[in-house]
Amino acid sequence: MNCTLRFTQDVPDAESIHAYYKSENYISHTDTSKGLVNRLYKTIRKRTLVQKRKLIEHITGRKSGTLLDVGSGTGAFLHEMKSNDWNVTGLEPDTDAISIAKKNYGVDLMSTNQLFTLKENSFDAITLWHVLEHVHQLQAYIKQLKSLLAEGGKLIIAVPNYTSFDEKKYKEYWAAYDVPRHLYHFSPKAMETLMGSHGLKIIGKKPMWYDSFYVSLLSSKYKSGGTKWISAAWNGMLSNLKSLNNTGKCSSVIYIISK
């Protein structure tokens, strides 16, 4: 069966790949404000953090509860949730990002190696914001995440979508391929097949409207050597317009998943 999952060939192993995350421009681990694109990213992130919290409150029906965030980066999202009465647990593989999370937000993150030691049925919400595409042990992760969900709990996974308009526009220069850091490349069909194989069901999809602009800005730089602000903004807008009636065509999609 054609599940439409793409994957990166000849990827570094779990130990060797860490070197590819040490770029000073990799904002998820550095929290850098260097460069206009990164400053815009951080400005928009303040708004999206609140949106993410409200989404979780809506889909769980809770104003507080237990949350596991896998791939917490520098801890901004967990800080938002903790500041609003959620009991949070965060996992992150990068030791520098863990230090920044502690320094900037007072958030104590654990190594992702602890994922398989956590107690079953203990989280009302589990989030992976642009993380699943980085995971070496894809099948084992999904199985474990399912076991960690409490009764009625929700799994929220956001990933880039290579069936989007901006991917078609930039093709091999599409920034969301981000090889070799991104090991897997998902379509909505691939996500449905993956979740279904583990007895999980996608019960909703939400768009990430800002991602089309951010990805287009980066893609334009990769393609031409310099950021093409006007054409990138136009392509980001077109990508969103083409997905207004079909969330499955968004540059990035948030999947809401239950047992």
| pLDDT tens sequence across 96-119 | 999 999 999 999 999 999 999 999
Task: Report how far apart, in Å, the C-alpha atoms of 54 and of each of 58, 125, 197 are.
Answer: 6, 13, 29
**Per-residue pLDDT band at 188 (split at 50, 70, 90):** very high
Using the predicted structure, report yes or no on whether residue 229 has a pLDDT greater than 50. Answer: yes
pLDDT at 43: 75
The model's confidence at residue 32, banded by pLDDT at 50, 70 and 90, is low
Task: Mean pLDDT check: name the lowest of 40-54, 69-83, 149-163, 234-248.
Answer: 40-54
Q: What percent of the chain has pLDDT over 70?
A: 91
Indicate the pLDDT class of residue 44, thresholds 50, 70 and 90.
Answer: confident
For residue 28, is pLDDT > 60?
A: no
Distance CA 110, CA 78 (A): 12
| 91 contacts: CB under 8 Å, gap ≥ 6 | 68, 69, 70, 71, 72, 109, 110, 111, 112, 114, 115
Residue 26 pLDDT? 54
Q: Average per-residue pLDDT in the chain?
A: 92
**pLDDT value of residue 182:** 96
Asked if 101 contacts 66 with a C-beta cutoff of 8 angstroms, the reply is no
Percent of the chain with pLDDT over 90: 83
Q: Does domain 6-160+177-208+253-258 have CATH number 3.30.300.130?
A: no
Across residues 213-229, what is the average pLDDT?
A: 95
Rounded to 5°, the CA angle 182-48-254 comes to 50
What is the C-alpha to C-alpha distance for residues 138 and 224, in angstroms, rounded to an integer? 34
Sign of CA dihedral 241, 242, 248, 250: negative
pLDDT digits (tens, 9 = 90+) for 73-94: 999 999 999 999 999 999 999 9
Res 125 pLDDT > 80? yes
What predicted TM-score, i.e. pTM, was given to this entire model? 0.92
**What pLDDT is attached to residue 19?**
80
| 215 close to 176: Cβ distance less than 8 angstroms | yes
| CA–CA gap between residue 1 and residue 8 (Å, rounded) | 20
DSSP string, 195-229: HHTTT-EEEEEEE-HHHHHHHHHHHHHHHHSS--H
Give the model's pLDDT for residue 1.
44
- Torsion, Cα 59 63 68 69, to 10 degrees, reads 80
Query: What Cα–Cα distance (Å) separates residue 209 from each residue in 13, 98, 110, 206, 259?
Result: 32, 28, 30, 9, 27
Cα separation, 167 vs 161, in Å, equals: 8
